[in-house]
Chain A
């Protein structure tokens, strides 16, 4: 079965530190990849997505992610985090050519301290 792994469960960073959250998937075919964010008390919203083309994708709020097909990875990065980035981050995978069903990772809780 297809699975999505997020190895960092809880990350604590100081403001201005750089961020990298890992995401690996197990499916060998063509995939579409997503990062969603859930701020405290708010609903999930899309940060960025990859469908094809340039493997480095840029999203909202200064986030970016790089798709490395050989490593089955789609890691999320931000050069300098802010306190307002405190949230839970979810990676998700959709198999291309299938319906709109996403498989989500277990999430990474990011806490940014002042």
Chain B
């Protein structure tokens, strides 16, 4: 069974803090994604990764960076959190076998 886990369901951070959101998958999928989900805006792609140490910017990369040192782990980094980064963050993986993205449960981040 496919499993995508995210390190926290809820997170509260202060403005200016460096924030790490972790995503781990156990399916050996090469492609991984970070989205943010906001009411009325749907899901917007922040960054994605095709393989270890390979990353590409998505549609809204400003204020974020990512790290993928191991295939199973894809981290989203907020270098200096701001209140407009308060959102739900979703991690996903892609399988070329069933051709779909699998999503984690999400991390609801609040920046105060």
Q: Which residues of A contact B (CB under 8 A)?
A: 6, 9, 32, 34, 36, 42-46, 49, 51, 90, 92, 99-107
Given contacts A9-B40, A99-B31, contact A34 B100 (CB under 8 A): yes
**Interface of chain A: mostly helix, strand, loop or mixed:** loop
Bound together, the chains give a CA A107 to CA B94 distance in angstroms of: 20
Using a Cβ cutoff of 8 Å, how many contacts connect chains A and B? 49
6 contacts between A and B (CB under 8 A): A44-B90, A49-B100, A99-B48, A100-B31, A100-B94, A104-B42
Q: Are B99 and A49 in contact (CB under 8 A)?
A: yes
Number of interface residues of B (CB under 8 A): 24
Instruction: Produce 1/0 per residue, B11-38, CB < 8 A to A.
Output: 0000000000000000000010101000
In the assembled complex, B50 has its CB within 8 A of some CB on chain A: yes
Q: Given contacts A99-B50, A100-B96, A100-B101, is CB(A43)–CB(B106) below 8 Å?
A: yes
Which residue of chain B lies nearest to A102 when distances are taken between CB atoms in the complex? B101
Tell me the bound Cα distance from A103 to B44 in angstroms: 8
Give bound CA distance, A7 to B105, whole Å.
26
Q: Is the CB of A101 within 8 A of B99?
A: no
**Known A101-B33, A101-B48; further 17 A-B contacts with Cβ < 8 A:** A9-B40, A42-B105, A43-B4, A43-B90, A49-B99, A49-B100, A51-B99, A90-B43, A99-B31, A99-B48, A100-B101, A101-B58, A102-B45, A104-B43, A104-B44, A106-B41, A106-B42
